[in-house]
Amino acid sequence: MKFKLIYPRWEKLEGQTNFTLPPHGPVVMAATIPDYVDVSFTDENVEKIDFDEECDFVGISMMLTIQIKGGWAIAREFQKRGKKVIFGGISTMLHAEETMLYADSVFLGESEGRMEAVFEDFKNNRLKKVYNYMTKQPAIELIGPARRSILKRELYNHKGVQMVDLFHASRGCRFSCYPCAVSYLGGKSFRPRPMDKVIEELDTIENNRLFVVDNSLAQNKEWEMELFRNMIPFKKKWISHTIDADPKILDLAAQAGAWYVYQAVFDTSDYIKERVKKYHDHGIGVEGTILLGLDNQSEDDIKRLIDFLLEIDLDLAEFTVLTPFPQTKVYNDMIRQNRIFDKDWNNFNAGKVVFTPAQMTAERLKGLYDYAWDTFYKDETQEQKMFRLFSDVVLREMKEGTYRPRDRKLANKSFGKKI
């Protein structure tokens, strides 16, 4: 049986670099598909979909709200050709009822231990409209190494430099942050993978650079330290979301190959300044993630925040506009206050303003968002700042003997396209 798995395209934010990383959801899901199924994967961000490719069954995996309308359109094309389409992934879970209108089936939840039954149902022509495993998370031990063999590696390469591989060591989140839907999607408790499973998966990844995509590694200090201790022998360099700024943990993280981490910067406090300094003192870079448009932010607050970012010497900054994604507190608050004026999911890209801000007009907020990108990258562009971070990691790899030269055969290509 041939299963065609699609990852729909989305528009990058204005000002964001055009680097495309290999997706994580589809390779994790593909690992749970029975062995007798041949999987053909298309990431529409890097290649066109061949709607006429021979296949028996189609899967559409969606991570972002801005993928869903594209995903629905793709489903329609396959259905016109007589194919059945199943949807999964986290934005399917957030938009399940709407997606059901376009799907032969939707899968809600985590797929480990469940795909055998789905494919049996398909084979026997009894596919269910919904496979509902919301909050019925499988045993964490069941998560095996992702099936990265389905990726076409050369499409995630820029001028001979391979993009990082995505990897996860835990699921769920014990924090329910105001703009975030993760606790709805992955449950409100932190679920670390057993360390032997983490090691088993790291062992399968050839890439020497990773993005550890866990929502937050800072959920259990003992586990975090154990994770870093176990990562040291792999000599990989990695990016991650926030980690604890405890010196003991940072020391282990640095030994384990921490390259740079994301850090939410929400105010101009000494707490943030010191935290960034602590990361830097351990040789770990920091990309600030800055959310603009919160109800407690005035125009002056946003301008002060941007000045502050330049002062604290962040390596990179990514600005986003507050976006009320379904199943978040911000969505519920704004629905109640009738403040969401744009309900086109294609505009929920965190670069457009879809709600009425509390302290300014939507146009002014968009203006400040543009101002933030322009001001932060005025003296040194995002590409230049990234190049600096990249050079740092190359030097570290050379020192440690883990550096791999760029692939000369792909030197004139960027994400599969000739340059």
Partner 1 sequence: MELSKNNIEQVFEFEGLWGVKSKCGLKIIKKEDSHIVIVSELYGENPGNAITSVSAGLAMQIAKQFEIPTDKMVYIESSPEMNSKLSFYDEEYFRVFFENNNGKFSNPSWEKLTKEEFIKLTK
By CB under 8 A, the residues from 81 to 120 that bind partner 1 are 96, 108
- Which residue among 73, 335, 395, 398 contacts partner 1 (CB under 8 A)? 335
Nearer to partner 1 among residue 60 and residue 108 (C-beta)? 108
Q: Does 188 bind partner 1 (CB under 8 A)?
A: yes
Is residue 176 involved in binding partner 1 (CB under 8 A)? yes
407/176 Cα distance (integer angstroms): 42
Choose which of 121, 154, 226, 333 interacts with partner 1 (CB under 8 A). 333
In the complex, minimum distance from the CB of residue 16 to partner 1, in angstroms, rounded to a whole number = 27
Q: Which two tokens stand for residue 291?
A: 């959310």
Structure tokens at 20: 């495309």
Which of these ranges, 245-253, 324-332, 365-373, 403-411, lies near partner 1 under the rule CB under 8 A? 324-332
Closest approach of partner 1 to the CB of residue 132, in Å: 5
Instruction: Return the residue of 47, 98, 116, 295 that touches partner 1, per CB under 8 A.
Output: 295
Q: Which two tokens stand for residue 338?
A: 């009738």
Candidates 110-118, 154-162, 307-315, 332-340 — which segment interacts with partner 1 by CB under 8 A?
Answer: 332-340
Q: Is position 381 an interface residue for partner 1 (rule: CB under 8 A)?
A: no
- Contact pick of 11, 117, 132, 310 for partner 1 (by CB under 8 A): 132
DSSP 32-97: TS-TTSEEEEEETTTS---TTS--SEEEEE--SGGGHHHHHHHHHHHHHTT-EEEEESHHHHHTHH
For the residues of 148-216, what is the DSSP string, one character each?
GGGS-GGGGEETTEEPPEEE-SEE--S---TT--HHHHH-SS-EEPPHHHHHHHHHH---SEEEE--S-
332 binds partner 1 (CB under 8 A): yes
Choose one: 27-35, 112-120, 227-235, 322-330; the region binding partner 1 (CB under 8 A). Answer: 322-330
- The reply on whether position 135 binds partner 1 by CB under 8 A is yes
Q: In what order do the strands lie in the sheet with 413-414?
A: 161-162, 157-158, 413-414, 417-418
* Residue 5 phi, psi dihedral angles, 5° rounding: -105, 125
> 91, exposed or middle or buried, with CB in 10 Å at 0-12, 13-18, 19+?
buried
Contact window for partner 1 (CB under 8 A) among 13-21, 75-83, 130-138, 238-246: 130-138
Give Cβ neighbours of residue 140 (< 8 Å, ≥ 6 apart). Answer: 171, 191, 192, 193, 194
Query: In this chain, which of 37, 134, 195, 213 binds partner 1, going by CB under 8 A?
Result: 134
Residue 282 binds to partner 1 (criterion: CB under 8 A): no
Strand, helix or coil for residue 23: coil
Binding piece for partner 1, criterion CB under 8 A, among 199-207, 211-219, 327-335, 364-372: 327-335
**Residue nearer to partner 1 on the CB measure, 65 or 162:** 65
Residues in contact with partner 1 by CB under 8 A are 96, 108, 130, 132, 134-135, 176, 178, 184, 188, 294-296, 326-327, 329-330, 332-333, 335-338
